Chains A and B, each alone.
Chain A
Amino acid sequence: MSFFLRIRSLVIKELQSLFGDPSSRALLIMPVILQTILFPWAATMEVKNASMAIYNRDLGVASTELVQRFTSGAAFTDIVVVHSEAEMADAIETRRAMLAISIPDDFSQKLAIGETSPIQVLLDGRRSNGAQIAFGYLQEILEIYLKDRAESAGHHLPSELVVRHWFNKNLDYQHFILPNLVAIITTIGSLVLTALSVAREREQGTFDQLMVSPLNPEMVMIGKAVPAMIVAFFQATIILCAAVFLYHVPFRGSLFLLYTGMFFYSLSLVGIGLLISSLSSTQQQAFLGAFSFMMPAIMLSGFAAPVENMPYWLQVATWPNPIRHFVEIVKGVFLKDAPPDRVIALLFPLVVISIFTLGSAAIMFRRKTT
């Protein structure tokens, strides 16, 4: 009984100092709101407003029709007509066009006699991602053009690709970013909070005060962990609500599974935060520590680049990264109603990470404080 009452005192104290001060209260809530508003709009990977330069040397029917298909479609909104190789290069260099195509002067002629004719495509490598995607649109247009030509000539293409995007029918990028945000924003809150809180008490001298009290290091750790987890749940819930009610991302899975995942995820983060805290003696060290963990952990979480694209050894190396597993849980539960056994398989690494980090933090605390 007394154990819980003492921990309750610690938790209340922590929450009072977090929410009692208007500026720290704002620091916990404002970034979440700002990021929820900005990220879904800013961090998009769709290519809208793609531009294309066309250098058409052929005046035949076939090439004219092709050019028309390019200009009339929705994919390319900005068409630059150029009249020389140099102009074509210039259009890309000055970023007036993301890609450029050059149609040779015998294009219609060759097609008319049933031969194949090459088309040259130049992509702007500086905007590699966007250009790749735009190139995809271009290929699609070309494919339909060829199919239509074949059909009008009475032939049929041997096979045809029909693409359906499951779990995100319209390839809406917001469906991808918002579940990710649930993971990322929660990370910053709970990690920085725990990493700094112990260091701050060390700097103020209040940590000694706790250490001479009847509290033992484990109780102090629980007292630090619980408020951070409360904050993490609180922030995640804000984004979750924004995703579902504001951005209308369909929530397909079980809320219970999501929150179970969140519990173990925030536990493992708190473990890392406390470990950083136990190793650093000033707030500055703790802050640097938290960031040197956070940056690579977010980059290697599958949020920015899919884990499957990494070399095998790196895929293995990301296993101790809790963000990686939670990103998968959130996306799984959110978008495709991942079954409990799949979620449990993903929870396992989180549990292992929590045990390891909390255990080492406890050992470090005892060593450093006694």
Chain B
Amino acid sequence: MSEVVVSFENVTKTFPGMESPALDAVSGEFRTGLITGLAGPDGAGKTTLLRLVAGLMEPDSGTVRTLGFDPFADSAAIRGDVGYMPQKFGLYEDLSVQENLNLHADLRHVIGEARRESFERLLEFTDLKAFTDRLAGKLSGGMKQKLGLACALLGEPKLLLLDEPGVGVDPISRRELWRMVEDLVDRGIAVVWSTAYLDEAELCGTTLVLNEGTKLFSGTPAEISDPLKGRCFHLRQPGEGKRRLLTDALLRPEVTDGTIQGHNLRLTFRPSTKPFEPDEIGAGSEANWSPVKPRFEDAFIDMLGGGPPGESPLTARTEAIPLDGKTVIEARGLTKKFGNFTATDHVDFDVKRGEIFGLLGPNGAGKSTTFKMMCGLLVPTEGTATVVGLDLRHSASQARQRLGYMAQKFSLYGNLTVVQNLVFFAGIYGLHGKRQRERIEDMTEIFHLEPFLITPTESLSLGYKQRLALACSLMHGPDILFLDEPTSGVDPVTRREFWTHINGLVERGVTIMVTTHFMDEAEYCDRIGLVFRGQLIANGTPDELKQSVADDSNPDPTMEDAFVSLVTRREEAATET
């Protein structure tokens, strides 16, 4: 009953100026009756594949058939039947919801009675009826995606290509969006949902996993994680020093991958090996193993040959900072208004020395605004932000000398080479001569930058850009590190490696403040602040937050479950009062 609508064979596409192809001999098919997940980190080739299927580009070699046609040669034949929602939705931010719909209806030639009917149906479907006059630019991330979806659905397509619809959408809207798409699948539309979040791919009916232009796997999520069955365990109640324990566990030959999940360690073992005795790595006496269901991400890492080694060379080269138990970062009633929009609304938190504090929330929730006020890049409308007791906006440069900052999207000088970037950042932090050379040598070695030293930074892969950005921010040995979305878009292995470095730094007493929209990544933090629509709705350890929403129906909630419940609870409370 499910029908193949798109098939592609040995499709290869290389863009000029790129060393390796964006897609390398990828084959597969998209069917009706289920959501096909197209999963992989940034730069894996997801968008390229979607654009080839939509007929927006021609493959260098290989064949694509979309709805029975060659999509590039017969683009006119498929145009009416393919709905494509690009990553940065094709919405005009200065037009209202209705005007956007009108425009797309005009473009797709939906007229007369059919037009009125589709508007009615789509506005109903997307729940946007009350907002037809609002400018698209003023909608929340979730509403924008819904409007994008409505526009893509005009003209009743048979195939719907969604390029990363989950980006910038809070977990609640994401679940809504997901339900809407499932509804479309039931009506016989073939849907492709591309995503960089592996937990999202896990929900799809079938998944095509791409990495660096090649196909890693295709099949149902169950099939993908099958080989991991019986190999994933939680080490519960490991006792003090979970980061040290993780490092030691990862050094053992039978362990292929490991992460911190709240108070627990999550480890993946080699096939046909058994978990070791917890006390062998010095875990507490109450520590015990409990098998867990393998996740998509575990399988992804396994396919790539396991996670990175557990010991960060950074630890040995970082000077230990004595833990004095002092509060080093503090926000009091922090508020920022842009016109009549409140980006951050009376936020309070403090971070002690040697802690990892995470601000968790969807894009647009106000994380970055809060973060920038903490670093002194934005002036708070109200309230105070202090770091080691100083307001960074007015503080002398000596105070800023103690900070490391890694900006969103790894802001480096793209046209400078890797070594020029390193020298520059060393220079502005006052490292010169022999000390500068030593530090640059250290960083080159730790982050494996040696082969790229004279490569222009802009042509590095995302993973290496991230490594270089971290290297630049650590050059001067800061004791407080600000990280803004440090892992967005990079592949899970590089993310693991990144957290290994961070854990190594924290062991030496460095204080970390990090923002992230990866729910699972928050598990690495000692404490998390949940940010939603500018407000800090909860603040606590990952386990506390998860426990606070556990009930009989869901005894072991995920971070995302916790987020959704906490937001819902809060909104219910707001409507009652």
Contacts of A139 in B (CB 8 A): none
Residues in A whose Cβ lies below 8 Å from that of B482: 212
Q: Quick check: which of B69-77, B262-270, B284-292, B400-408 contacts chain A, the rest being far away?
A: B400-408
Contact of A10 among B397, B408, B412, B428 (CB under 8 A): B428
**From residue 376 to 434 of chain B, which have CB atoms closer than 8 A to chain A?**
376-377, 379, 392-394, 397-398, 400-401, 403, 405, 407-409, 411-417, 420, 423-430, 432
A13, A210, A212: residue with the most chain B Cβ atoms closer than 10 Å: A212
Judging by beta carbons under 8 Å apart, are B420 and A5 in contact? no
Interface bin, chain A = 20 to 34
Q: Is the CB of B398 within 8 A of A209?
A: no
Instruction: Output the least CB separation between B459 and chain A (Å).
Output: 12
Contacts of A13 in B (CB 8 A): 413, 416, 420, 424, 427
B432 pairs with A206, CB closer than 8 A: no
By the criterion CB–CB under 8 Å, are B398 and A214 in contact?
Answer: yes
Distance of A204 Cα from B415 Cα, bound (Å): 11
Q: How large is the interface on B (under 10, 10 to 19, 20 to 34, 35 or more residues)?
A: 35 or more
Q: A13-B416, A370-B393 are in contact. Are A6 and B401 (CB under 8 A)?
A: no
- In the assembled complex, the Cα of A16 lies from the Cα of B407 at a distance in Å of 22
**Which of A17, A210, A212 touches B375 (beta carbons < 8 Å)?**
A212
CB atoms of A204 and B393 under 8 A apart? no
The CA of A130 and the CA of B226, in the complex, are separated in Å by: 88
A253 to chain B, nearest CB (A): 40
Confirm or deny: B372 has a beta carbon within 8 angstroms of a beta carbon on chain A: yes
| Min distance, Cβ A167 to any Cβ of chain B, angstroms | 46
CB-based contact A211/B427 at 8 Å: no
Whether B376 pairs with A6 at a CB distance below 8 angstroms is no
Residues of A within 8 A of B425 (CB): 213
Question: Is B407 touching A214 in the complex (CB atoms < 8 A)?
Answer: no
Q: By the criterion CB–CB under 8 Å, are B424 and A209 in contact?
A: no
B429 near A208 (CB under 8 angstroms)? no
Most buried by A among B397, B414, B416, B423: B397
Q: B407 contacts which chain A residues (CB < 8 A)?
A: 205-206, 208-209
With A and B bound together, what is the CA distance between A213 and B392 in angstroms? 11
Chain B, 272-315, CB within 8 A of any chain A CB: none
Q: Are A212 and B377 in contact (CB under 8 A)?
A: yes
Provided the pairs A13-B416, A209-B405 are in contact, do residues A215 and B397 lie with their beta carbons within 8 angstroms? Answer: yes
Q: Main SS of the interface on chain B?
A: loop
Over the window 53-65 of chain A, the binary record of Cβ atoms lying under 8 Å from chain B Cβ atoms (1 yes, 0 no) is 0000000000000
Query: Nearest chain-A residue to B403 (Cβ)?
Result: A212
- Total A-B pairs in contact (CB under 8 Å)? 87
Query: Does A320 count as interface, using CB distance less than 8 angstroms?
Result: no
Knowing A13-B413, A16-B416, A20-B416, say if A208 contacts B432 (CB, 8 Å). Answer: no
In the complex, A213 Cα to B472 Cα: how many Å?
11
Q: Does chain B have a CB within 8 A of A309?
A: no
Indicate which residue in B372, B394, B429 contacts A213 across the interface (CB closer than 8 Å): B429
List A contacts of B416 (CB < 8 A): 13, 16-17, 20
- Give chain B residues whose Cβ lies under 8 Å from the Cβ of A344: none
Would you call A369 an interface residue if the criterion is a C-beta within 8 Å of the partner chain's C-beta atoms?
Answer: yes
Chain B residues, CB < 8 A from A212: 375-377, 392, 400, 403, 405, 482
| Interface residue A94 (Cβ < 8 Å from any Cβ of B) | no
A96 to B407, CA, bound (A): 67
Which residues of B have CB within 8 Å of A5? 427, 430, 432
Minimal beta-carbon separation of B560 from chain A (angstroms): 28
Is A69 in contact with chain B by the CB < 8 A criterion?
no
Chain B nearest Cβ from A94, distance in angstroms: 51
Cβ contacts under 8 Å, B412 to chain A:
206
Considering the chains assembled together, what is the distance between the CA atoms of A208 and B412 in angstroms? 11
Q: Which of B43-100 contact A (CB under 8 A)?
A: none
B-side interface residues toward A, CB under 8 Å? 372, 375-377, 379, 392-394, 397-398, 400-401, 403, 405, 407-409, 411-417, 420, 423-430, 432, 482
24 pairs, CB–CB < 8 Å, chain A vs chain B: A5-B432, A6-B427, A9-B423, A9-B426, A9-B427, A9-B428, A12-B423, A12-B427, A13-B416, A20-B415, A20-B417, A204-B413, A204-B414, A205-B411, A208-B372, A208-B375, A208-B407, A209-B407, A210-B428, A212-B377, A213-B405, A214-B400, A214-B428, A369-B377
Beyond the given pairs A6-B427, A21-B415, A212-B377, 11 more chain A to chain B contacts, judged by CB atoms under 8 angstroms and listed by A's residue number, are A10-B424, A10-B428, A17-B413, A20-B416, A20-B417, A204-B411, A206-B411, A208-B377, A212-B405, A213-B405, A216-B397
